[in-house]
Amino acid sequence: MRISRLLSGLAAAALTAAVFSAPAAAQSYPTRNVRIIVPFGAGGPADVYARVLAELLGKAMGQSFTVENRPGAGAVIGTNDVAKSKPDGYTLLMMSNTHATNETLIPNKPYDLMRDFAPVAGVNYSDLVMVAHPSLKVKDLKEFIALAQSKPNGLNYASSGPGTPYHMAGELFKAMSKTQIVHVPYKSSGGARNDILAGHVHMMFDAVTVMTQNIQAGKVIALATSGSSRTNVLPNVPTLAESGVPGYSAAIWLGIMAPKGTPADIINRLNAEIKKAQNSAAIKAAWEKQGAEPYSMTPAQFEEFLKVEIKKWGEVVKVSGLLKQ
C-alpha cells in the first residue's frame, strides 16, 4: 500500500513538472545568444530590419540577438541551414515573400516551408518603386512602356535573384504592360542596386525603404510605386495603377520563422516581444518615415497568411512560364 502511494506521488510530481516546464522554459528563454539568419545579402530590407529587430529583442529579452547573412541559391542555402538547426529558439529565420514564391519556383528544395518551419511573426511590409537610369531619357511610366514596346527585349531590368519580390514585381509588370524586358538576376539586392545606379541596367523594382534617398539625389528616375495608393515617402510619385497598368499591386514583406518543433511557449514569447517593438511609438515613427509599416500577426494568423501567399505567387510563377527557365 505504501509503495502504491509512493508511485502515485511520483506520478503526480512528474505530471506537475510536465505541466509547468513549458512556461518555465519561456520565462527563462533566452539564456544565451540567439541567431537570426538572413538568407540574403547585406544592405537589403531583410538585412536592415533583421538588425533593427535584433537590437530591440536583445534589449527587451536581456540576451544578444545577432544577425548572420547567408545568401545564395535564391535564399535556399541560408533557409536550409535554419531548417536543419535545433528547434530550441536559438536559431531564427528572417524570411520574405521570396520564400512564398520559392515553394513553387524551386520545387526540389531540401526543405518545405510549411512542413519544416513554424511561423513566429510578421515583421513589416513596404511598397516597391520602379526606377530607371537617367540615361534612358524617360520622364514617366507611360514613356518607359512606349519605349519598351518599341524595342522588344531591347531593355533589361535588375533583380536580386529569381523568385525575389523585385523579380516577381518585374514579371508581373511585363505581363500586365505587355512588354518584353530581359531579366538580369544578381546575387543580392545590393549588386542590382549598384548596377542601376551605375547605368549598367535600365530599370529595377526596389523597396522604397532603401531606394528613396537615391531618387531624391537624382541618381535614378522614379517611374511609379507598386502599392494600391501612393506611399507617404514619395507622395509625388504615382502608382503603377494610376500610370497605365490598372490593377497592378505588389509589395515586399518580411517575417520571422523558427525550425518546426520549436516549443510553442518560446514562439509565443517571441511573437509578443516583436509585437511590443512594432507597437512602440519610436518604431512606428521611424518605419513610417522609411515607408515601412508593421505587419503584426499572431503565429496562427501568420501561418494562414503564408498559405495564401504561397498559393498566390505559385499561380503567378505558373502563368509566367518561369518554371521552364
The model's pLDDT over 206-259, given as tens digits with 9 standing for 90+, comes to 999 999 999 999 999 999 999 999 999 999 999 999 999 999 999 999 999 999
> Are residues 195 and 119 part of one domain?
no
278-289: pLDDT as tens digits: 999 999 999 999
Cβ(261)–Cβ(118) below 8 Å: yes
Burial class (CB in 10 A: 0-12, 13-18, 19+), 218: exposed
β 251-259/91-96 pair status:
antiparallel
> Are residues 118 and 39 part of one domain?
yes
Element (H, E) at 20: helix 2-28
CA quadruple 22, 28, 31, 33: dihedral positive or negative?
A: positive
Q: Which three cell numbers stand for residue 123?
A: 515583421
85 found inside a domain: yes
278 found inside a domain: yes
> Are residues 262 and 119 part of one domain?
yes
Residue 2: predicted pLDDT: 41
User: In this structure, what CATH number is given to the domain that contains residue 109?
Assistant: 3.40.190.150
> Are residues 79 and 104 part of one domain?
yes
Given a cut of 70, whether residue 9 has pLDDT beyond it is: no
21 found inside a domain: no
Mean pLDDT of all residues belonging to the chain = 91
246 found inside a domain: no
59-115: pLDDT as tens digits: 999 999 999 999 988 899 999 999 999 999 999 999 999 999 999 999 999 999 999
230 found inside a domain: no
147 found inside a domain: yes
Number of structural domains (the chain) is 2
Rounded to whole angstroms, the Cα distance separating 147 from 170 reads 16
Domain hosting 105: range is 29-126+252-324
User: In this structure, what CATH number is given to the domain that contains residue 194?
Assistant: 3.40.190.10
> Are residues 295 and 161 part of one domain?
no
286 found inside a domain: yes
Cβ(220)–Cβ(208) below 8 Å: no
> Are residues 105 and 132 part of one domain?
no
166 found inside a domain: yes
Give the pLDDT band of residue 25 (cuts 50, 70, 90).
low
Last residue of a domain, one of 177, 209, 225: 225
Q: Is 52 helix (H, G, I), strand (E, B) or coil?
A: helix
Residue 195: predicted pLDDT: 97
Given a cut of 80, whether residue 321 has pLDDT beyond it is: no
Last residue of a domain, one of 207, 225, 243: 225
